[in-house]
Amino acid sequence: MVSSSVPRWRWQILDSAAGLDPVPPVIAEEPAQDWCNFVVWRPSELPEGCDAGVGTIRREAPPGRVDAVGRSPWSDANPSGYRTEISGGGRRLRLKQFLYDWAFPAADHPCLWGSETRPYGIGEGRVVWLGTDYLGHRAASARLARTTVELSVLEGEFTDEEIVALFAALRPAVPEALPRVLATPFSELSYWARHPAEMVSVPTGVFRFHRQGREHEGDWIPSGEVTAFLTGQGVPVSAGAFHADSAATFGDGSAVRELDVVYASAAGDELRLTAQRTGGGRLAFPPERDKHPATEELHDLDGRPLYLGHLSAEFGACDAWWQHPDGYDLRLLGSAGTGMGRDPFLDLVAEIDAGLRLAGHAEVLG
């Protein structure tokens, strides 16, 4: 939710990809915050016998492929990121922090995709997931005030209790940055919303939906016009504690096929609504399961089938698909949290659906 009383976050950006560091420089969390489009977190407690080294920064730059350590080999994008290692007594783990913004973070913990995961509440509505990452390492992931924080065990063994305690002890390195980041619309933070970087085909939730293409095809609505735009399209601007702060249309260059709306809460929880004219976009209805372990349920929504997938009935993350009576396919994704489980999420779906049916049309989708 964007607050008009809190100044929006602004960070430093390199002028071109040519200015990128060949090797990520060593920098402490506080000065690193000035280079990041996300809240940088620092552990206030460490596993017994371990110390934290000073982290390294990947600074943001416009798109362009460069020969630099730590840059993605599958994209020309150059977003910011912060990496820290914690080690001692023959044990070592890595923390990686960034804004996951090229798609909705799959199951709210994309680095654990495809593995069995276990959620743990870590206070203030937050949840951390434990599982196995794509390299086969014992790993964990959480979204904290929009920041994706990923942990990977590189050497030795760490218990579940130690990993959960480490996440619970994460605190903003620069406390005043947190409300400013949360006061900034997603479209102003997102690298992919600001640059024509190559799109990345990645999973987005329990059910199958991928966007891919040579460039990020989203046409993002200026943040000051989002409320008027959505009102004109008959799309609710709020649901429960969530308020729309960003919206985009996606298409093939000649026609709009999908409308995306990003809803955020004051705490940084997120909903992502996708709508398309039935059969006119990439939502395949009824949905097909993607490969991540999850629970699938079929509910009734005012006489229509509602397909719901979730990882935890208590914490989410949830993925719902249904259809509007006037011929729209709809999908709502939710981040994980203590207030984002199955039942609260179904209430949000019902509220958004009621608002859509009351309005009855979305001109931008044809």
pLDDT band at 118 (very low <50, low <70, confident <90, very high): very high
Does residue 200 have a pLDDT over 90? no
Kindly indicate the confidence band of residue 264, based on its pLDDT and cuts at 50, 70 and 90: very high
pLDDT-based confidence at 280, cuts 50/70/90? Answer: confident
Write the pLDDT tens digit of every residue in 119-151.
Answer: 999 999 999 999 999 889 999 999 999 999 999
Do the beta carbons of residue 287 and residue 280 sit within 8 Å? Answer: no
pLDDT given at position 336: 97
**What pLDDT was estimated at residue 71?**
65
Taking a C-beta distance cutoff of 8 angstroms, is the pair 310, 253 a contact? no
E-strand ranges in the chain read 41-43, 51-52, 56-58, 81-88, 91-98, 118-121, 127-132, 138-144, 147-155, 170-172, 219-220, 238-239, 242-251, 256-264, 270-277, 295-301, 304-312, 316-324, 328-334
Residue labelled with tokens 């407690």? 45
According to DSSP, residue 22 is labeled: S
Nearest to 106 by CA among 206, 201, 192: 206
pTM of the model: 0.94
* End-to-end CA separation in angstroms for the chain: 29
Q: Are strands 56-58 and 81-88 parallel, antiparallel or unpaired?
A: antiparallel
Asked whether the CA dihedral 161, 165, 168, 170 is positive or negative, the reply is negative
**271, 260, 276: which is closest to 323 by C-alpha?**
276
CB 335 within 8 Å of CB 316: yes
Q: In the predicted model, is pLDDT for residue 258 greater than 80?
A: yes
Dist. CA 217–CA 282, nearest whole Å? 13
| One-letter identity of residue 233 | Q
